[in-house]
Amino acid sequence: MSREPLPADETALLVSLSATSLFGMPEDYVFDCVTNIGAQLFNAPVCSLALADGEKSCFNSCVEMDIREAFRNSALGGNAVADRESTVIEDTLQDERWLTDRLGRVAPQIRFFVRHPIRGLGGAALGTLYILDFKARAFPPEQQRLLHEFVFLIELSFFARGITTVQKALGAKLDLARHESLVDPLLRIWNRGAIKAIIDEQHKRALETLLPFSILMVDIDHFKKVNDHHGHIAGDAVLKAVTGVLLASMREDDELGRYGGEEFIAILPNTNAIDAEVLARRVKESVCDLKVQTLAGLIGCTVSIGVAEWAPTRPESLQALVHRADEALLSAKQCGRNRVHVSRPAA
């Protein structure tokens, strides 16, 4: 067979093949099934399935022939994209194209040669199916029809693989985008919408398990003065520093979110008011020790914290719980700030 030109629609080939994530993958059960069935279906000693990239054909599966790679513009590698229909040579010794090819001098000599392109989405060819024999033989119309049907099933298999791969990639991108939509861009903690959803889930879980949980409402004292006197860049530095203290003080299962401009909310699962108050006071003292380095110099700050517990002995709505925490925070600020106040539910 004479050498054939490489295809013009190279990009379509590579994109389609990439979507299936098949090229270069090791031999696996699916490809072995294809070639084993093909060899038995056509009673041929050789059946191979080759996937093509920009430079070569990779024989992912090959029955009865030790071939792994062949240049795509050689006779055996073939030009799958250039093929529009099956190429059938019933006797290579009677075909001028084959006689001029180097493969005509390779032992054992191939006498019967069939190839058919495997196409993906958009019609781009992904590779080629080969049926070979070492003796000349006829390939009647019923076998040609059977070959087209067999190739159709192979293409369906590739399509299913491609869909799975694309879905995984798209799912990962959507997961990342969704995560980013729930994260505060400056502080890299949950934003208001996300933390509200997490509180709601925690409340539902508490109703089912009858286990307590607590929330902390944390507000940076006199934060507006920081922005007014030192600028927003310094204010951002203070926000990040306080966030760092909160995260360092929290446990593995706790959740932290930015509830407002300089206000945070922390969710403490399986935690009663006594333990929540201990954690809150530790946070308050750690923030007191902060000296935030900014372009305006070192800046200190304090926080006020309101604490509220949801108790299974006194179940209440989520709105009531958040309201109590907010009221405790307001009380801490009204009493001079830099304080922790705990809300006690009504008897």
Q: What is the pLDDT of residue 72?
A: 47
Distance CA 213, CA 218 (A): 17
Give the H or E element holding residue 297: strand 297-299
pTM, entire model: 0.54
The span from the CA of 53 to the CA of 289, in Å, is 61
What is 10-176's CATH number?
Answer: 3.30.450.40
What percent of the chain has a predicted confidence (pLDDT) above 70? Answer: 75
pLDDT exceeds cutoff 90 at 324 = yes
Bridge partners of 58?
51, 69
Q: Which CATH code of 3.30.1390.20, 1.25.40.10, 1.10.287.950, 3.30.70.270 fits the domain covering 192-342?
A: 3.30.70.270
Instruction: Quote the radius of gyration of the chain (alpha carbons, Å).
Output: 35
CB 111 within 8 A of CB 138: no
Q: How many CA atoms lie within 13 A of 232 on its CB side?
A: 2
- Strands in 56-63's sheet, in edge-to-edge order, are 69-71, 56-63, 46-52, 125-133, 112-119, 87-89
Instruction: Please say if the pLDDT value at position 3 is more than 50.
Output: no
- In sequence order, what E strands does 31-169 have? 46-52, 56-63, 69-71, 87-89, 112-119, 125-133
Q: How far is CA 51 from CA 12, 55, 126, 193, 266, in A?
A: 14, 11, 6, 48, 54
Q: Please give the average per-residue pLDDT across 132-149, as a whole number.
A: 92
Q: Which of 201, 210, 187, 197 is nearest to 262 (CA)?
A: 187
Provide the pLDDT for residue 74.
53
Structure confidence by residue, pLDDT tens digits, 75-134:
555 554 556 678 898 998 888 877 776 666 666 788 898 988 888 766 767 778 888 888
Are 158 and 20 a contacting pair, CB within 8 Å? Answer: yes
Cα–Cα distance measured from residue 259 to residue 274, given in angstroms and rounded to the nearest whole number: 23
Mean pLDDT (the chain) is: 81
Residue 335 has pLDDT above 90, yes or no: yes
Q: In this prediction, what percent of the chain has a pLDDT beyond 90?
A: 47
For residue 45, pLDDT beyond 80: yes
Q: Which residues 6+ apart lie within 8 Å of 319 measured at CB?
A: none
Largest CA distance in the chain: 103
Domain ranges in the chain? 10-176, 192-342
